Structure 1
Amino acid sequence: MTETALLPTAPLRAHAQIDLGALRANVRALRERASGARLMAVVKADAYGHGALRVARAAVDAGADWLGTATPEEALVLRARGGLPASTRIMCWLWTPGGPWREAIEAGLDVSVSGMWALREVVRAARGAGRPARVQLKADTGLGRNGCQPGDWEELVGAAVEAEGAGLLRVTGVWSHFACADEPGHPSIALQLTAFREMVAEAERQGLRPEVRHIANSPATLTLPESHFDLVRTGIALYGISPSPEVGTPADFGLRPVMTLAASLALVKHVPAGHGVSYGHHYTTPGGTTLGLVPVGYADGIPRHASGAGPVLIGGKWRTVAGRIAMDQFVVDLGGDEPEAGAEAVLFGAGDRGEPTAEDWAQAAGTIAYEIVTRIGTRVPRVYVDDEHVNEQPDG
C-alpha cells in the first residue's frame, strides 16, 4: 500500500497530496445523507489510490461504521496494520476458491458468499478455526456480476440457515449492488430494488435475521434514499468525486475532492516554429514558443489516452498536453511563458484554485474519474495534510 506519512523536506518530482480533512468532512456529509443508515467507507484498491491505511483511520475517526474492501488480502492488511479500533467492522467480497477463509475468520472479518462453493469453503474454514464465520450473502438482483441468482437463492439461504444452526457461521448481512444507480430514473433501479426486497424477504422467511441489509453505493446514497436500508456503501463519493457528473458536481453534493496531483517542471526551453513534440510528432509547434517538461507519464498512471488533451495548471494558466504522453513524462506548450524549472504543474485537484479536476482528466481520456485517481502509481508518493495521526509511526 502506498504510504508517505509526512510532507517531505526535499522537493519531489511529483506527489499526490491527500487532504484527510476533506475526507473526514466528506464522511460527515455522507452520513447526513444516509437517512439514519450506517455508513461503510469503501477503501478497496488502496482507497482508490489515496492510501488505504491512512484513509481508513480518518474515515473511522469521522464516524464511518464499517470499512469495505474487494479482496480479503486488502482486509487482512487493514486489520493487521491499520491501527483501527478492534470493534471496527471490515467486510471483503471478492473471493476465489482456496482463498484465505480461515485467516479472515480468525481476524474477525465479514466475508461475502455468492454461491454454494463459497459457503462450503467458509464452513470448512470455520470448523478448522473453531469459531463461527461472519458471512454476508450477496444477491444478484440484476447487475450480472458476483452474487447469487434468484433461482438459486432459496438453496443458498437454506444451506446458510443450516450452517448457522450448527454454530458454524452467523449471517450478518444480505446485500446487492446496483448496475445503473448513477443514472437516476433508469428502469433497472426499481427492478433491482424489488428483487432485493424479495430476496431479503426469502432470507427472513427461512429464519435469517441479518444485522444489515444494503444495496446503496455512492450514487444511490446521494440520490436514492429509498435504497439506504440499514447500511450505505460509499466509495468514490468518499474521495470527493461525483459518481454522477451529469447530475451534480462534488460541491452540489457537499463533497470536496481529496487528492491533488502535482509535479515539478523538469525543463523549460525555447523552440522554433514547426518543432515536433514527443513520439510520432502528433504535435508540432505553430510558432516559436516555450515547452515545459512535466516529469510524469503513463508509468505513473497518467492516461496515454489523454495525449493532446490532458489539462495542467502552470503559472495560473491552463495548458494542454502537447503530443503523446510517454512512460515517464509529457510536454506542454507554454506559449512563450518562461516559468523556471521546478515550477509547480498541477494536473488535478479540488478545482477551487483554478486547477483542473480528476473529472477534467476523465473527459480528456474518455474514461471516468474513478480510474483517474485509482491508477496513480506507486512512483508517486502520497503526502498527507490535516492528518490527526502525524505523530504515529509511518506505515509501509
Structure 2
Amino acid sequence: MNDDAPTAPAGPAAPARSAALRADIDLAALRSNVRALRGRLTGGAELMAVVKADGYGHGMVPCARAARAAGAGWLGTATPAEALALRAAGDRGRVLCWLWTPEGPWRQAVEADIDVSVSGLWALEAAVEAARAAGRPARVQLKADTGLGRNGAPPADWPALVAAARAAEASGEVSVTGLWSHLACADEPGHPSIKAQQTVFAEALATAERAGLRPEVRHLANSPGTLTLPDAHYDLVRTGVSIYGLSPSAEVGTPEDFGLRPVMTLRAALAAVKRVPGGHGVSYGHHYTTPGPTTLALVPAGYADGVPRHASGSGPVLVAGKWRTVAGRVAMDQFVVDLGGDTARVGDEALLFGPGDRGEPTAEDWARAVGTIGYEIVTRIGPRVPRVYHGVEPAPGEPAG
C-alpha cells in the first residue's frame, strides 16, 4: 500500500511551501467512514458520496476513488465542471450533477452519461435539446422543492414538470432516473420542517407515479438525514460532510457517535521563534500585545491558505504540546502564537486541526472558535496547500508497495 502519495496542487507557490504547510488526507479513514455509513442504511438503499467543492477541500478525484472502493454506488457534484472532471479522471460510475444554468454544458453531460438534475421546464427543455444533439437520451432526475426554497420545482409546478418529463421519456429523449429533494433542517433533530418536507416529498412521489414515472432511485436524505432519519433513506442517500469524518452538527452527534473519523489533518512547520519583551505588539493593528517577556512562534499559514481571518485571537493550535490561541490578526500568509514560558524551535510542528488523537484541535473546534461550521473550515483550505494522501490503495493489477 502506498502510504505517502503527494499530489502537486495548482500554482507555482505550492511546492515551495510543501514542507512548511500541508494537509494530510487519510483515505483509509474515508473508506472506513463510507463503510460505516453504508452499515446504517435501511431497505437496501445505496450511498452517494458527495465530492463537490474539490471533495470538501480534501481533493475530489482521490476521495471519489476511495469512496468507490468502499462501495459508494454514486458520486454527487454541484457543478457540471466537477462532474466532467470525474469523467476525465476515468470514473465511469453513476454521477449526479445538480447545479445547472442555461449555459450548461448540457450536451457534454449527456454524452458523458452524467445524470442531470432538472428543477423546471426550462431545464427539461435544455436536456431534451442536448439529447437530440447528442443522438442519445438524457438521464435526468427531477428535483422537487419540498420546503428548502432553493432549487427544485415547487408543488404548484410539479405536476406540469412530471407530465412533460413523462412525455419526453415516452418519445425517447430522456430517461427519468431519479426523483429527489433536499432537507432544510435535518441537522436539527425534531425540527417541524423535517416531517413537513417528508410529507410533501411523499406527495410528489405519488404524483410522479400516477403520471407513469418509474425512476431507478428516490432520494431525500443528506448526511444528517442518513444518520438520524432511517425512514428517509428511500433508495439512495447523499452523504457529504460525513464521509470526510465530520458531524453535520453538534445536535446530531459527534463523529465518534457514528464511528466516523476526520480525514484531514492540517499541519505546519514553525517559520520563526523569538523572545520578545512585555508590551511588544503582534501582527497588524497591534490588537495583541505581549503581557510580559515571552516567546512568539510564527506559523506559515494565513487567510490565503484558508485560515479564517476572523480566527484572529481565537483560533486554536497545538504547539509544543499545548493548545495555543492565535495571537493578534491572521495575516495573508502567516499568524503568530504566544508560547508564554514554553520554548520551541524553528521547524517544530504546529497542528492546526486533525482527528484529535494527539490532543490537537479538530475542525469542529475551529468552527466553534470562529462561529461557523466544520464544513467551511475544511472546504476553505486553498489550492496552494499541498495535499498528501495516505492509505492510497493500489489500482487493480498494481502491486502494493
Q: With structure 1 as the length reference, what TM-score do the two structures score? A: 0.95
1:250 aligns with 2:255: yes
1:22 aligns with 2:22: no
Aligned counterpart for 1:224 among listed residues 213, 226, 229? 229
- 1:342 corresponds to: 347
- 2:159 corresponds to: 154
- 1:386 corresponds to: 391
- 2:380, 2:18 → 1: CA distance? 23
Give, in angstroms, the shift of residue 247 of structure 1: 3.2
What secondary structure sits across from 1:300 in the alignment? coil
Aligned counterpart for 1:13 among listed residues 5, 17, 20? 20
Whichever residue aligns with residue 299 of structure 1, its letter is: A
Runs of 4 or more, structure 1, over 3 Å off, are 3-6, 8-11, 389-393
**Alignment check: 8 A CA contact 1:5 1:390 kept:** no
- 1:60, 1:9 → 2: CA distance? 33
Give, in angstroms, the shift of residue 236 of structure 1: 0.2
**Alignment check: 8 A CA contact 2:270 2:346 kept:** yes
Aligned counterpart for 1:295 among listed residues 294, 297, 300? 300
- 2:17, 2:123 → 1: CA distance? 49
Q: Deviations over 1:197-244 (max 9, x none)?
A: 000110010000000000000000001101000000000001000002
Whichever residue aligns with residue 178 of structure 2, its letter is: G
Q: CA RMSD in A?
A: 1.7
The answer for unaligned runs of 5 or more in structure 2 is: 9-14
**Alignment check: 8 A CA contact 1:23 1:239 kept:** yes
- 2:210 corresponds to: 205
Whichever residue aligns with residue 32 of structure 2, its letter is: A
- 2:54, 2:206 → 1: CA distance? 35
Aligned counterpart for 1:355 among listed residues 352, 360, 363? 360
- 1:110, 1:247 → 2: CA distance? 30
What count of residue pairs does the alignment treat as equivalent? Answer: 387
- 2:78 corresponds to: 70
Distance 1:19 1:392, change over 3 A: farther
What secondary structure sits across from 1:229 in the alignment? coil
Give, in angstroms, the shift of residue 11 of structure 1: 6.1
Distance 1:253 1:4, change over 3 A: same
**Where in structure 2 are the equivalents of 1:75-114 lying within 5 Å?**
75-81=83-89, 83-84=90-91, 86=92, 88-114=93-119
**Alignment check: 8 A CA contact 1:76 1:107 kept:** yes
- 1:352, 1:198 → 2: CA distance? 46
Aligned counterpart for 1:56 among listed residues 50, 64, 68? 64
**Alignment check: 8 A CA contact 1:305 1:366 kept:** no
Give, in angstroms, the shift of residue 10 of structure 1: 9.8
Whichever residue aligns with residue 382 of structure 2, its letter is: G
1:239 aligns with 2:244: yes
**Alignment check: 8 A CA contact 1:67 1:89 kept:** yes
The answer for unaligned runs of 5 or more in structure 1 is: none
What secondary structure sits across from 1:298 in the alignment? coil
Give, in angstroms, the shift of residue 339 of structure 1: 1.0
Give, in angstroms, the shift of residue 288 of structure 1: 0.3
Aligned counterpart for 2:194 among listed residues 181, 186, 189? 189
- 2:46 corresponds to: 38
Give, in angstroms, the shift of residue 108 of structure 1: 0.4
Distance 1:390 1:231, change over 3 A: closer
